[in-house]
Structure 1
Amino acid sequence: MATIAYPQSYYAASANPVPQRPALQEEVQTDVCVIGAGYTGLSSALFLLENGFSVTVLEAAKVGFGASGRNGGQIVNSYSRDIDVIERTVGPRQAQLLGQMAFEGGRIIRERVAKYNIQCDLKDGGVFAALTSKQMGHLESQKRLWERFGHTQLELMDQKRIREVVACDNYVGGMLDMSGGHIHPLNLALGEAAAVESLGGKIYEQSPAVRIERGANPVVHTPNGRVRAKFIIVAGNAYLGGLVPELAAKSMPCGTQVITTEPLSDELARTLLPQDYCVEDCNYLLDYYRLTSDKRLIFGGGVVYGARDPANIEAIIRPKMLKAFPQLKDVKIDFAWTGNFLLTLSRLPQVGRIGDNIYYSQGCSGHGVTYTHLAGKVLAEALRGQAERFDAFAELPHYPFPGGQMFRVPFSAIGAWYYSLRDRLGV
């Protein structure tokens, strides 16, 4: 089997040193077999190990190969659909539980970084930037909503104030969340993997799960080995493929694109983002950006429905960057890559159990850095018999995409075009 390497991203080029991890070549026995060594899988493994379970993690490529090691690196609270949408969908009791959890993922990340001394360039502060008065009104409502659930580290910014934190003339205002922030996402995953191994967990790379033998004592098969377990956690998200058909029916892989500039001068970097906050705008198909520890600008945006790799990523994203920062017109792009996330029709994560012993979480819908860390804790609680928070997610309604497998991509693209047009028209 061919070895799968990391994509040629800035993150892979600047990753911390890691040990070579073997492929599974035998039969092993464990309490929990976790499929996928991204944030969901690693977070689950850590919480389970801390609670006395034995854990084996299977990774088809390398730790953090998928969205966990390719994303924009932003710590953003709540879910891809906010708590008010959840409340209208499922009612106040369930929404109260989900609302209480909406800000927990960021705290878990910071706890992990501190407890296991993970070197991932953690910085505090995230900005939501409004391009229209309508978007500013939404941020005002969002602040009231989040404060209702106890989240108070928020500041509304007028046009003058936002210019103090980001050198872009396009914004009419924004909201600063000091519990948001940014990290080197691949180094966070690598640090969490090292923490898993420090507690006795086993991680096998280049070991894709090719078949799950279901039953009272499930077995996960890889090309050259197998894992017998009491429980399985499926954490493959957009990179799961057809391993579990039930999970593919109500989700769709989507691609997003990221570029990274050459290192900027200290003066230019300080001018762009003086407080070193990360930024995302409020459009339906949003742009997001931040500085790296070596003063590069990482800029991402756009969605490719169906997760096709564009032929020229720089041609798609560089114009977006220059619209925000025309002063970067002569700056060279050193890295450009794409990565996949898993979209659900509701934009809310799908959490559940298949039979008595196969658990899963997927479908972060582009909002996964914080949610996946919460998901690991919630899944671990469920395996320990504490299912209230797990059930709050599992009871969320989910639906197949219009048009089924064949037409879900064009239908979703048409919907995205409609909402993008509304953003451009300010309606």
Structure 2
Amino acid sequence: MPQTNRENGVSPARLAPAEVQANFSDLHPAYDEHEALVAADRCYFCHDAPCMTACPTSIDIPLFIRQIATGTPEAAAKTILNQNILGGMCARVCPTETLCEEVCVREIAEGKPVEIGRLQRYATDTLMAKGVHPFVRAPETGKQIAVVGAGPAGLACAHRLAMLGHNVVVFEARAKGGGLNEFGIAAYKSTNDFAQKELDWLLAIGGIDIRYDQALGQSITLDGLQSDFDAVFLGMGLTAVNALRLEGEDKDNVSAAVDFIADLRQADDLAALPVGRRVVVIGGGMTAIDAGVQAKLLGAEDVTIVYRRGQEAMAASKFEQDLARQKGVRLICNATPVGIEGNGSLSAVTLAYTETRDGKLETLDETFTLPADQLFKAIGQKLGETPDLLALDGGKIAVDDAQKTNLAKVWAGGDCASGGDDLTVTAVAEGRDAAMDIHATLTGAS
């Protein structure tokens, strides 16, 4: 058994490479053919299936499961991808336990749902392994649309527009596409560089040109895009991180959880990534869980996630909370940071207990201190700078039911837009629906 690196502070190589590799293996291993057939056989193929209603992209779940059960997984994949072109990634990262699987009749009757997510992965992986793109482009319309952001919303919008015969130019601020699918989810949820493989597969439809290192407000402007293109879709996500607003927040080893996760996703050697012995994560959402669990899997000895409200209010699903505990991560609720200690580098975090009174969160006088040599902030992200004339709603781009903004020829969707949950599957639905409205607007189609 390899010895853990017990060096204080933030240090690489806390675990042997083989142990790290095992820790970051696929969270939900793929079904083989027999397993998929057995799992599919559990489906009741409900009429007016509640699972389909619970899916933000409205995939016909009973149909695709029946197609798997009859030995036609490629047909099942097309059923999925017709509604959700990123169905492969959503099968891996979608919180199915709070969406389709939560309302599954098997779950309600037996406490064990049909494993819809894993069946979806089986179907889409089977099709993608054949190198086949199931859709072809309609005749070219001569229209050109700009998409800002190569994340889930932007890619879903671009693919649907290309399929409808339009030409699409995607402007991506980073040097790599995929958005949160590439940079923002735990490495054990998407292994073997799947996000890039899915991106390359999606682009096989043709008609989509991605231009990297092109950030809105820097390399490109909204005015310029409106002038040069027939329509514009904004799907650039949330690019700024909320601050704790505490003295000492600028100390060494205090950073955003999203940056830690992005570094993990881009690392060639996970075992070489530095991590603290005592890690504290502030937040209660999926990002906090992903950061805390991965710190533990890299060899941190003591990882604590601190959330300011009660556990029932955490944005992370019960499955994710249970996963954190199973991996040895401690959850402390009803506490909030009030001090960041250390001389230069972080040494401890001081927290105060909280209480909800008459619906309002109050910070109490009683405090406690957690030793820490690494602190991750996971208290939410916000929109970066936007053009002055673009209307906002709750800090996000205001859109109507068709994802249209207040500006002529401009639509928006995904995390940067108001309305939906901050989920990959919701972003895909909004990108797809915006594309359909753009198409109808440009062509007069009903």
TM tier, smaller? 0.3 to 0.5
Greater RCO (CA < 8 Å, at least 6 residues apart): 1
Choose 1 or 2 for highest CA Rg.
2
TM-score after normalising by structure 2: 0.34
* More strand as a share of residues: 1
